Amino acid sequence: MSDLFSLSGKKALVTGANTGIGQAIALSLAKAGASVIAAGRSPVDETIALISEAGGKAESLVLDLSNPTAGRDVFAETGPVDILVNNAGIIRRANAVDFTEEDWDAVMDVNLKAVFFLSQAFAKAVFARGGEGKIVNIASMLSFQGGIRVPSYTASKSGVAGLTKLLANEWAAKGINVNAIAPGYIITNNTEALRHDETRNKAILERIPAGRWGDAEDIGGAAVFLASQAAKYIHGAILNVDGGWLAR
């Protein structure tokens, strides 16, 4: 049974692997046996060190997805990659009436446009070698809900959910599983403002059945599952890892 979840012999590329959820996913994949390419727009030394300390294999890649086509040729440079985790993401907060075009475009470029074009490049490489692959996108509870003061983030993560299903429809029969994880309220840099807002933090905790914010490591197991053979017949799914938030 354990072999179903083994990623031994697989190579994975994880974007936004510097900190938080991306770092936890990279570490979890490495612990499951994958050789990990940890990608970030800034050095990923800490992630590489954590993977090495755990006995895993990793290499770093500088990839700035504020240019959404920056990954167009990346798979020609990395060699065969079996697993792509589209984790890189940014957020901008402001009331919708005050939200700027600059902040809208910046978020959409990283969170949605780059996800599509990196997935496209990955699929082209997989198809060219006649192989199989796994794509795991990072969606959000705001793929299902509206949220407040994050219009471009909500739009981008709603788009990630739709894109996940579209790509699954096109690529499932061609050997690529495309799925997504929708994290709940996780302790990361992106949620720091919410956690320090006493009123919002209290309201959030009161709604989460698990009674706590999630840790980045809570997402790692879900990523390993979706990247493994145990999920070979799962296509177009969005797996909520949210402490029960959406069930409330």
Residues classed as catalytic: 153
CB 219 within 8 Å of CB 21: yes
The CA-atom distances, in angstroms, between 225 and each of 135, 142, 208 are 12, 22, 23
At position 180, the amino acid (one-letter code) is: A
CB 141 within 8 Å of CB 182: yes
In this structure, the number of other CB atoms found within 10 A of the CB of residue 58 comes to 24
Pair of tokens at residue 137? 């996108």
Task: Name the nearest CA neighbour of 15 among 112, 115, 126.
Answer: 115
CB 184 within 8 Å of CB 204: no
DSSP conformation letters of 150-212: -HHHHHHHHHHHHHHHHHHHHHGGGTEEEEEEEE-SB-SGGGHHHHT-HHHHHHHHHH-TT-S
d(CA 144, CA 239): 12
